[in-house]
């Protein structure tokens, strides 16, 4: 059975206003409202966002700016400087992207990361999250909140749980403990209408949904009822949409005619190593496992794999490891097909160097040709 996934949801705190405070530290601690011109209470636009100090007055995103003005006329009102926020967003997303191969940006200030292949357990995940938070703070001067959970939706609920500057870890064995006491409105997508329908069914908490008869939920919400129930029990998982995890890179060749000559097969393996290596570099990954596939003329097929002690991006490591595995098949028959692959991949590119900041020095011990943390075993 696969180990549970470890998903991060990262969301900047009061994003636009935090950037404004960074630009003008004198605003720190004050209610700051970013949005359209309040025009002394006559403005017709809305609040884009506001600092947590302004939220204490009941002000929130999408509220009419005139109302925000009435609630707190002494707040600092600032216009939206989208160009600046986009630049900060881009910088932050670059930092996050450099950590993982599975990354999905979902809005200007939030993203998911699948770190399953990078850390081996939730304790290490928490340490990584702290380092990411510190890194964003020192590079871009703003704070974020991170939720860690076995799936995206719980990670998102978790990132919201201790905002601002929060870090909430929901381990696979505590999903229901975390979810059940929460109000149904904490489920992303559950708005006023759904909340009212649920309330009319006597359902207030996520736990009430979790324990509700599935047929009742289906009768009210159709297919979405099934989804609601899965979310409530922490079993709903959807894949990260962009930058899906690349699991392996491989190439194989079926010979025009079956081959008995070992030297021909070895030459083919050298060529395949070359091709796999080129693709590995193009995609910006490093590998830890080398896979060999051999098919004989009678179609019997074998696969073998060897996991190295450290990550590598070295062509000769691919070839030599494949040859070592291949030597066991010499003399066993006539070859129809050979293939080479690499798996256990993690991202390595120029930006990767920033990762050095995120991981403990000892994790780098025994590294081959790159600076990437050792993969979990
Ligand atoms: P959010 O992440 O929803 O809010 P936030 O970052 O301001 O605050 P939080 O700490 O609760 O995450 O949205 C990100 C940015 O998107 C926000 O700073 C401004 C913009 N935005 C709008 O312009 N209008 C809106 O209605 C919302 C919700 C956000
Ligand atoms: Mg935010």
Domain count within the chain: 2
pLDDT of residue 29: 97
Ramachandran class of 73: left when φ > 0, alpha when ψ lies in -120 to 50, beta otherwise: alpha
Q: What confidence tens digit (pLDDT) does each residue in 255-307 have?
A: 989 999 999 999 999 999 999 999 998 887 888 899 999 999 998 999 999 99
Residues 6+ apart with CB under 8 A from 329: 294, 302
Whether 61 lines ligand 1, by a CB cut-off of 6 Å, is: yes
Residue keyed to tokens 């939220």: 55
Asked if residue 258 and residue 226 are part of one domain, the reply reads no
Strand partners, 291: 305, 341
CB 255 within 8 Å of CB 303: no
DSSP string, 192-248: HHHHHHHHHTT--BHHHHHHS-HHHHHHHHTHHHHHHHHHHTT------SSSPPP-E
Query: Which residue lies with its CA nearest to atom 27 of ligand 1?
Result: 61
pLDDT of residue 103: 87
Whether 46 lines ligand 1, by a CB cut-off of 6 Å, is: no
Q: What is the average pLDDT value for the chain, to the nearest integer?
A: 88
Residue 187: give its domain's CATH number. 1.10.150.20
Of 377, 373, 375, the residue nearest 131 (C-alpha): 373
Helices (H), the chain: 15-23, 52-55, 65-71, 82-97, 122-140, 152-161, 175-179, 192-200, 206-211, 214-221, 223-232, 262-283, 315-327
Q: Output the CA 11–ligand 2 centroid distance in Å.
A: 5
Of 50, 24, 21, the residue nearest 35 (C-alpha): 50
**Residue 47 located in a structural domain:** no
Ligand 1 pocket test: which of 9, 59, 61, 162 has the largest number of ligand atoms within 8 Å of its C-beta? 61
Of 114, 147, 116, 192, the residue nearest 13 (C-alpha): 147
pLDDT surpasses 90 at 317: yes
Phi then psi for residue 108, to 5 deg, are -60, -25
Strand partners, 347: 285
pLDDT surpasses 90 at 31: yes
Asked if residue 217 and residue 260 are part of one domain, the reply reads no
Asked if residue 366 and residue 253 are part of one domain, the reply reads yes
pLDDT surpasses 70 at 369: no
Query: Among all residues, which ones are annotated catalytic?
Result: 110
Asked if residue 256 and residue 340 are part of one domain, the reply reads yes
Q: What is the mean pLDDT of residues 14-36?
A: 97
Q: What confidence tens digit (pLDDT) does each residue in 71-84 have?
A: 999 999 999 999 99
Sign of CA dihedral 193, 198, 203, 209: negative
**Residue 102 burial by Cβ neighbours in a 10 Å radius (0-12, 13-18, 19+):** buried
pLDDT surpasses 80 at 34: yes
**Residue 296 located in a structural domain:** yes
pLDDT surpasses 80 at 372: no
Asked if residue 265 and residue 184 are part of one domain, the reply reads no
**Residue 276 located in a structural domain:** yes
Buried-state track 147-172, b at ≥16 Cβ within 10 A, e below 16: bbbbbbbbbbbbbbbebbebbbbbbe
pLDDT of residue 254: 87
Asked if residue 254 and residue 207 are part of one domain, the reply reads no
CB 11 within 8 Å of CB 109: yes
Whether 49 lines ligand 1, by a CB cut-off of 6 Å, is: yes
Alpha carbons 54 and 37: distance in angstroms, whole number: 16
**Residue 316 located in a structural domain:** yes
Instruction: Write down which residue in 232, 263, 298 finishes a domain.
Output: 232
**Residue 240 located in a structural domain:** no
pLDDT surpasses 90 at 68: yes
pTM: 0.69
**Residue 84 located in a structural domain:** no
Q: By three-state DSSP, how is residue 257 classified? A: strand
Whether 11 lines ligand 1, by a CB cut-off of 6 Å, is: yes
Enclosing domain of residue 325: 249-376
Asked if residue 335 and residue 268 are part of one domain, the reply reads yes
CB 110 within 8 Å of CB 136: no
**Residue 255 located in a structural domain:** yes
Asked if residue 294 and residue 187 are part of one domain, the reply reads no
Alpha carbons 317 and 327: distance in angstroms, whole number: 15
pLDDT of residue 1: 59
Alpha carbons 274 and 280: distance in angstroms, whole number: 10
Alpha carbons 297 and 259: distance in angstroms, whole number: 9
Q: Output the CA 254–ligand 1 centroid distance in Å.
A: 55
Which ligand number lies closest to the CA of residue 52?
1
Asked if residue 283 and residue 364 are part of one domain, the reply reads yes
**Residue 327 located in a structural domain:** yes
Ligand 1 pocket test: which of 49, 78, 156 has the largest number of ligand atoms within 8 Å of its C-beta? 49
32-41, 72-81, 108-117, 133-142: the lowest-pLDDT one: 108-117
pLDDT of residue 362: 28
Residue 306: give its domain's CATH number. 3.30.1490.100
pLDDT of residue 309: 87
Which DSSP letter does residue 1 get? Answer: -
Q: What is the mean pLDDT of residues 216-229?
A: 94
Alpha carbons 250 and 283: distance in angstroms, whole number: 13
Strand partners, 302: 294
Percent of all residues in the chain with a pLDDT value above 70, rounded to a whole number? 89
Q: What confidence tens digit (pLDDT) does each residue in 319-351 have?
A: 999 999 999 999 999 999 999 999 988 766 433
Asked if residue 216 and residue 302 are part of one domain, the reply reads no
Asked if residue 350 and residue 271 are part of one domain, the reply reads yes
Asked if residue 228 and residue 310 are part of one domain, the reply reads no
Q: Output the CA 271–ligand 1 centroid distance in Å.
A: 52
């Amino acid at each position: 059975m696969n180990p549970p996934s470890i998903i991060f949801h990262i969301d900047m705190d009061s994003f636009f206003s935090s950037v404004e405070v960074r630009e003008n530290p004198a605003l720190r601690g004050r209610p700051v409202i970013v949005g359209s011109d309040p025009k002394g209470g006559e403005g017709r636009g809305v609040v884009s966002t506001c600092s947590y100090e302004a939220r204490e007055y009941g002000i929130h995103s999408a509220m009419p700016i005139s109302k925000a003005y009435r609630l707190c006329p002494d707040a600092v009102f600032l216009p939206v400087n989208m160009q600046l926020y986009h630049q900060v967003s881009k910088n932050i997303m670059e930092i996050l992207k450099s950590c993982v191969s599975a990354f999905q940006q979902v809005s200007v200030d939030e993203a998911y990361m699948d770190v399953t292949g990078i850390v081996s357990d939730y304790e290490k995940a928490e340490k990584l999250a702290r380092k990411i938070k510190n890194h964003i703070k020192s590079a871009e001067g703003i704070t974020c909140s991170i939720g860690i959970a076995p799936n995206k939706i719980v990670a998102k609920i978790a990132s919201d749980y201790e905002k601002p500057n929060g870090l909430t870890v929901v381990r696979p064995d505590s999903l229901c403990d975390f979810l059940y006491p929460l109000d149904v409105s904490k489920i992303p997508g559950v708005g006023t209408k759904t909340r009212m329908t649920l309330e009319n069914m006597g359902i207030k908490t996520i736990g009430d949904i979790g324990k509700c008869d599935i047929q009742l939920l289906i009768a009210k919400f159709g297919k979405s009822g099934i989804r609601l129930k899965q979310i409530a029990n922490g079993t709903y998982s959807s894949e990260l949409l962009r930058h899906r995890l690349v699991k392996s890179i491989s190439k194989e060749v079926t010979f025009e005619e079956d081959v008995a000559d070992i030297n021909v097969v070895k030459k083919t393996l050298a060529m395949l190593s070359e091709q796999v290596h080129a693709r590995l570099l193009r995609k910006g990954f490093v590998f830890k496992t080398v896979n060999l596939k051999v098919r004989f003329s009678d179609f019997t097929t074998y696969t073998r794999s060897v996991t190295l002690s450290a990550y590598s991006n070295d062509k000769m490591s691919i070839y030599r490891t494949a040859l070592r595995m291949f030597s066991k098949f010499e003399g066993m028959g006539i070859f129809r097909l050979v293939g080479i692959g690499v798996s256990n991949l993690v991202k390595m590119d120029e930006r990767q160097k920033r990762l050095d900041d995120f991981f403990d020095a000892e994790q780098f011990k025994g590294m081959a040709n790159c600076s990437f943390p050792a993969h979990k075993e």
